[in-house]
Amino acid sequence: MGATKQRTEVRRRQIARAALRLMARRGAGGLRIGALARSVGLVPSAVYRHFRGRDAVMDLVLDYVRDELMANVAAVRTQARDPLKRLHRLLRRHVRLIVQNRAILRVVFSEDVFGESPRRREQVRALMHDYLGAVAELFQEGQQAGRVRRDAEPRTLALMFLGLIQPAALLWHLSGKQLPVAVVTEQAWEIFSESVATKPKEERR
């Protein structure tokens, strides 16, 4: 029944957005072509006019996630000079990203990604690796600027940084938005950053 025709670029965008919504609710494995089509007012087979298949949709979503994460890193670089401030802002952005678009959690933790195809798994590994690399770079710059203690590996710090968010985000997600992620993460950042910053002996924070 008569969906009005749209140019393929338009449909691709619509479908990608719908995919994000669906994955937020049902997870990566729960991305059904049928539901996807319906939610943009098409018939399942119509999706194949715009994508080669389910995998191609997934790819686009993964690209989106990567873009968002990396854009955050770039953004905080322009917003602050102090490496620790940059990291703090990145933390907030990361939390906001996850809260606003739960699909991101699902993609990274997905089954699909986790076990299934070696290709997918490698894609996500690379994504996580790159993001961690960018975060580690921020820490390293902090070390060079004398703001961050030098007796810690930047990559370890980057992992800890992610660790400030991940369990809270997971629990938040499981509990259906009950947990105040932003607040908890902020508290965790305070403790973490304090222990990571070089102490200007006997001075205030």
Partner DNA sequence: TGTACATCAGTGAACGCGCGTTCACTGATGTAC
CA torsion sign for 74, 144, 95, 167 is positive
Strand, coil or helix: 53: coil
Strand, coil or helix: 197: strand
Q: Using CB distances below 5 to 8 A depending on partner kind, what does residue 8 bind out of a copy of itself, DNA, none?
A: DNA
Residue 182 in contact with a copy of itself, rule: CB under 8 A: no
From 34-42, 49-57, 59-67, 169-177, span contacting a copy of itself (CB under 8 A): 169-177
Residue written as tokens 């991940």?
166
Residue 180 in contact with DNA, rule: CB under 7 A: no
Query: DSSP string of 12-49?
Result: HHHHHHHHHHHHHHH-GGG--HHHHHHHTT--GGGGGG
From 1-9, 62-70, 83-91, 152-160, span contacting DNA (CB under 7 A): 1-9
End-to-end Cα distance, the chain: 65
- For residue 173, the minimal CB distance to DNA (Å) is 21
Residue 126 in contact with DNA, rule: CB under 7 A: no
Task: Give the phi and the psi of residue 148 in degrees, each rounded to 5.
Answer: -120, 140
For a copy of itself, the closer of residues 69 and 108 by Cβ is 108
Tokens of 80: 């602050």
Report, in angstroms and rounded to the nearest whole number, the Rg of the chain calculated over CA atoms: 20
Residue 35 in contact with a copy of itself, rule: CB under 8 A: no
- For residue 97, the minimal CB distance to DNA (Å) is 26
Residue 167 in contact with a copy of itself, rule: CB under 8 A: yes
Residue 163 in contact with a copy of itself, rule: CB under 8 A: yes
Alpha-carbon separation of residue 147 from 119, 160, 191, 192 (angstroms)? 39, 17, 16, 14
- For residue 110, the minimal CB distance to a copy of itself (Å) is 6
- The C-alpha angle with vertex 122 and arms to 31 and 23, in degrees rounded to 5, equals 15
Q: Using CB distances below 5 to 8 A depending on partner kind, what does residue 160 bind out of a copy of itself, DNA, none?
A: a copy of itself
Residue 110 in contact with a copy of itself, rule: CB under 8 A: yes
Among 16, 18, 23, 33, binds DNA (CB under 7 A): 33
Residue 25 in contact with DNA, rule: CB under 7 A: no
Give me the residues that bind DNA (CB under 7 A), please: 1-8, 11, 31-34, 42-46, 48-50, 53-55
